[in-house]
Structure 1
Amino acid sequence: MSKTCNVEVKDSTISGAGRGLFACGDFQPGDLVLAVDRPLFAELDIHRLQDTCAWCFQRAATDPIERAQAASMGLPNGFIEVKACTGCRRISYCSKSCQSKAWKREHKYECKALAPKDRPDLPDAVRSTIKLLGRMKADDGKYDKLATILSFRPFEGGKGVEEFGHRNRKLLEDFNMFGFAAWKYAGEPKMREADSQAVSKAFVLNIMCNKFALSSPLDDTHLGIGFDPMICSANHSCDPNVVLVFNQPVALLRATRPIKKGEEVFMKYIDVTNPFSVRQNELQDTYYFSCQCPKCKKGSSFPVDTFTIPPEELSSEYRTLADKLAQKHEAQLSRFFVPASDETAQQRLAALQAEAFSVSGTVTDVKNPTPEEIKATLKMCIKSGLWKWTRQPVPQLCRQLFSLYIANGDPYRAFRLGCKIYFEITPGLYPQAFYPDRLIDTWAMSTVVNVLCGPRNKQIYDELMQGGVDLRIVYFGFLFDVHDNAPKMFGLDSPFGRVVDNTYKQIMAGVNIHESEIRDKIKAVWPSLEIIARSVDVLSL
């Protein structure tokens, strides 16, 4: 399926960015720009090694309750089983086919290195480099596709190491240590035309600076990291024109807006709905560069940065709170800088932002926040008058709260909050109905509504019906929304698409009215559902 003829690699139009990916034809929103059968390498997070196939990245639910729930909804993780490699006992596979493919391509080079029981789990960049060294040695150091990794920045064939070290001396030392460890674990391989230790360090450096995140669309679970020479040639922009889709293990770039032939292709490396200072710091922390895209050159002048009231209008209650939070987050204030009329106002806004983002997970002050902690933070954001519902981290906090309601077995609260997210929040963040985050959220809503249609929730079902909202029709509305838009992003032949398509076919096989009639009923009930969404008081849920 690999499709790379639609793009080409040339020097980027962004100064100092090095390589860039360019369109060889015109693309419309939803068009496939690039596809690779599997990234050059894909590495699981340490905590996913025991429940996820290291080749196809399909996850198996290991908790009995989660497994039963997943199976009842027809989700793959309710049926998939993974078994550990009998050699190292560290890496797992879902089938003999996946194990065989992995062994032939890469696992045979790392199995012995991972096997010792007293050896701690190795970081993803070290595991990747061990396999890359093995593959290069097997090809006598001439494997061109692997050697291409070394042409990326910051290593750039060796030319960029000094500059990177000047800016990040301690970081370079850490990466060199990882590279040396990978070289030792790989058995200090000898290569006729390369210094394998230097190559190992260069691999780690470029992996850490160019990796992309891999996650499952079925449950929005972060799985690991990947690297591919073609995908990674697409530079970051805070105003991207493509989005990365991971179809386990196929990786795609899909257009999110029209792209003309010869135009540079840009993807996002981080969440670009965040304010300017948050984006800049996250890119610096994760990818070690300052963004120079056209959007960032304009600074904090976009809706994602705008507060609903000027800081001078902040009430005395929230001025006092901000002053207290400024002491709590003193070391973080520069990361959340907001332009304001004076230094005091800047500090207060930064302190309130730091508190909000600490709970949302952008910084790690609060781990696994409770619903009460999230609602308290939302109250601060909304009641202060500064935030609107589409300004981060309010949307992220709402998604967190939605997920917690589902996990805690509270589908009615999840439904009400999900309606607000569906109608009032995500359309403002992602205009395209086929955008991955919107599809994932809508699929989750279809699941929640399906639960509410069950006998355990008859009272809620009847109350909504009396108000003119038939939850059965609402369920069809969310299901049709995902089924209509999935082909433009994940495709119906992907793991996510197959679950959606199979569910759609099973449901439609059980109804005795035509689909067009159902769609008419959806149009009729949708305004009432939107009224519910706009009446939801998240803070009192």
Structure 2
Amino acid sequence: MFLSLRSHLDEITKSNQEQYERIMLSAKAEKEYSGSELDVETIAEYLARIEVNSFTFTTAFGDPLGLCIQPFACYMNHSCEPNAVVGFDGGLITVKALREIKSDEQVFISYIDNTYPFEVRQKQLAERYFFTCKCSKCAQGTTAREDQFIPSNPSPEEVETLKEAEKQARELLTAARSSKAESAVKQLKSAMKVLHDTKLWPITRQPYPEIRSELMVSLLEIKDFWSAFRHGLVRYLFVDPVLYPHEWHPTRTNHEFVFSQLVMTITREQSSKIPNGSKYKFDPVSAIYPILTKLNKYQKYETPGVARSIKVEYDALMAPVKKLGYNPSTPSVSEAMSSAWKVLNNIAEETLETDG
């Protein structure tokens, strides 16, 4: 089955000299060190098949580990509006439905990050997979949500401002990925400020969400948990519901689980880092309960590893609550939780005003 996959080596040779040279260099090295009887051209064909058809192999929570080739799964076609998503759990590859898939309906996954604007998606698909996508989202061209600015029809002068802002933000994002955490934080904050200062760039339009997520990682590396929490709150409340409208989308549920862990870290181990003042005080159980309750509700849609982690955290949260005879579903308790989320919403709004 592997040999039936397309390598696109001819297209790579014509359109991407750097990729072609890398494949040929790897093929020559493979032949030399392995002593294979296969000729270099055949090995190059195999390597090209792997590059073009491989999945990014991840942990159950989506952290990248390497590449994975699964010939049968490779036959799933692409759509920027997929009805399923690929994930991993240990040595298993999983395909998770994002909505009901009817009998005889084709299963589509997205080969790329489909939260990016039309031209970026088209470019990535053409350069790596050698086709022009004509899915329902791409049929909308630059009128889809992913391409919108504030307002939706900026003036020619505003378009130039936006292009320059995007260029600067991407350069800072690229630089941050090769920098130490302390420097990366400064670069990523600068990138967000560039987009924020345009007053035209939505926080849900890429690369804004990607920059925020990268910033959270760097903030956690330098143990600035409070700042990571604030940006996680923005992502939870205002970004992910737009980027991933399906509540059980794995990226969204992974972000929610990480955020619940961050809440507990802040309140248990880093409470001294929370600024003084009533506007920052909230009950952690009230913050985490609705998140873990939702995750627990959709646990059946998760891979075994993720489902186990969610159950452990949910049971740990509920045990002392149940012991006290506390019923989170009663109106009085729901009202108390609502008050906590008003505080959290205000913290998120303040973060958007100060940090972007």
- Could you say whether these structures have the same fold, taking a TM-score greater than 0.5 normalized by the shorter chain as the test? yes
Q: For residues 393-420 of structure 1, give each alpha carbon's deviation from its aligned partner in whole angstroms, at most 9, with x where no partner exists.
A: 1111222222233222222222222222
Q: Which residue of 2 aligns with 1:453?
A: 267
TM-score, scaled relative to structure 2: 0.84
Structure 1 distance, partners of 2:59, 2:335, is: 31
- CA contact under 8 A between 2:84 and 2:96: conserved in structure 1? yes
User: Where in structure 2 are the equivalents of 1:14-33 lying within 5 Å?
Assistant: none
Q: Secondary structure at the match of 1:370?
A: helix
Superposition deviation, residue 174 in structure 1:
4.2
Q: For residues 196-240 of structure 1, give each alpha carbon's deviation from its aligned partner in whole angstroms, at most 9, with x where no partner exists.
A: 65542321111111111122244x532101111121111222111
Q: For residues 70-92 of structure 1, give each alpha carbon's deviation from its aligned partner in whole angstroms, at most 9, with x where no partner exists.
A: xxxxxxxxxxxxxxxxxxxxxxx
Q: Give 2:57's match in structure 1, choosing from 214, 217, 224.
A: 214
- CA contact under 8 A between 1:274 and 1:304: conserved in structure 2? yes
- CA contact under 8 A between 1:453 and 1:472: conserved in structure 2? no
Q: Which residue of 2 aligns with 1:185?
A: 33
- CA contact under 8 A between 2:170 and 2:191: conserved in structure 1? no
Q: Which residue of 1 aligns with 2:251?
A: 437
Q: Which residue of 2 aligns with 1:150?
A: 3
Structure 1 distance, partners of 2:334, 2:216, is: 23
Q: Which residue of 1 aligns with 2:87?
A: 245
1:509 partnered with 2:322? no
- CA contact under 8 A between 2:172 and 2:190: conserved in structure 1? no
Superposition deviation, residue 304 in structure 1:
0.8
- CA contact under 8 A between 1:416 and 1:532: conserved in structure 2? no
Q: For residues 38-96 of structure 1, give each alpha carbon's deviation from its aligned partner in whole angstroms, at most 9, with x where no partner exists.
A: xxxxxxxxxxxxxxxxxxxxxxxxxxxxxxxxxxxxxxxxxxxxxxxxxxxxxxxxxxx
Q: Which residue of 2 aligns with 1:489?
A: 302
Consecutive unaligned residues in structure 2, runs of 5 or more? none
Structure 2 distance, partners of 1:484, 1:530, is: 23
Structure 2 distance, partners of 1:458, 1:175, is: 52
- CA contact under 8 A between 2:280 and 2:347: conserved in structure 1? no
Q: Return closer, same or farther for 1:289/1:529 CA change in 2, 3 Å cut-off.
A: farther
1:259 partnered with 2:70? no
Q: Return closer, same or farther for 1:263/1:300 CA change in 2, 3 Å cut-off.
A: same
Structure 1 distance, partners of 2:128, 2:33, is: 25
User: Where in structure 2 are the equivalents of 1:414-433 lying within 5 Å?
Assistant: 414-433=228-247
Q: Which residue of 1 aligns with 2:167?
A: 354
Q: Return closer, same or farther for 1:279/1:468 CA change in 2, 3 Å cut-off.
A: same
- CA contact under 8 A between 1:420 and 1:536: conserved in structure 2? no
Q: Which amino acid aligns with 2:99?
A: R
Q: Give 1:281's match in structure 2, choosing from 118, 123, 131.
A: 123
Q: Give 1:202's match in structure 2, choosing from 36, 45, 56.
A: 45
- CA contact under 8 A between 1:188 and 1:197: conserved in structure 2? no
Superposition deviation, residue 509 in structure 1:
3.2
Structure 1 distance, partners of 2:260, 2:277, is: 19
Superposition deviation, residue 288 in structure 1:
4.4
Q: Return closer, same or farther for 1:294/1:480 CA change in 2, 3 Å cut-off.
A: closer
User: Where in structure 2 are the equivalents of 1:34-113 lying within 5 Å?
Assistant: none
- CA contact under 8 A between 2:287 and 2:337: conserved in structure 1? yes
Higher helix share: 2
Superposition deviation, residue 502 in structure 1:
2.1
Q: Which residue of 2 aligns with 1:367?
A: 178
Seq. identity, %:
25
Q: Return closer, same or farther for 1:169/1:441 CA change in 2, 3 Å cut-off.
A: closer
Q: For residues 313-366 of structure 1, give each alpha carbon's deviation from its aligned partner in whole angstroms, at most 9, with x where no partner exists.
A: xxxxxxxxxxxxxxxxxxxxxxxxxxxx5xx765543332222233334xx686
Superposition deviation, residue 311 in structure 1:
3.9
Structure 1 distance, partners of 2:313, 2:229, is: 20
Q: Which amino acid aligns with 1:443?
A: F
> What is the aligned residue count?
347
Consecutive unaligned residues in structure 1, runs of 5 or more? 1-147, 156-160, 190-194, 313-340
Structure 2 distance, partners of 1:164, 1:418, is: 39
Q: CA RMSD in A?
A: 3.1
Structure 2 distance, partners of 1:234, 1:379, is: 39
Superposition deviation, residue 462 in structure 1:
8.2
Structure 2 distance, partners of 1:408, 1:170, is: 35
Q: Which residue of 1 aligns with 2:205?
A: 391
Superposition deviation, residue 171 in structure 1:
4.0
User: Where in structure 2 are the equivalents of 1:277-426 lying within 5 Å?
Assistant: 277-309=119-151, 310-312=153-155, 347-361=160-174, 367-368=178-179, 370-426=184-240
Structure 1 distance, partners of 2:68, 2:330, is: 40
Superposition deviation, residue 272 in structure 1:
0.8
Structure 1 distance, partners of 2:44, 2:195, is: 45
Q: Which amino acid aligns with 1:305?
A: D
1:525 partnered with 2:334? no
Q: Which amino acid aligns with 2:225?
A: P
Q: Which amino acid aligns with 1:418?
A: G
TM-score, scaled relative to structure 1: 0.57
- CA contact under 8 A between 1:244 and 1:251: conserved in structure 2? yes
1:175 partnered with 2:23? yes
Structure 1 distance, partners of 2:135, 2:194, is: 32
Q: Secondary structure at the match of 2:205?
A: coil
Q: Return closer, same or farther for 1:359/1:215 CA change in 2, 3 Å cut-off.
A: farther
- CA contact under 8 A between 1:179 and 1:204: conserved in structure 2? yes
| Structure whose CA Rg is larger | 1
Structure 1 distance, partners of 2:224, 2:329, is: 28
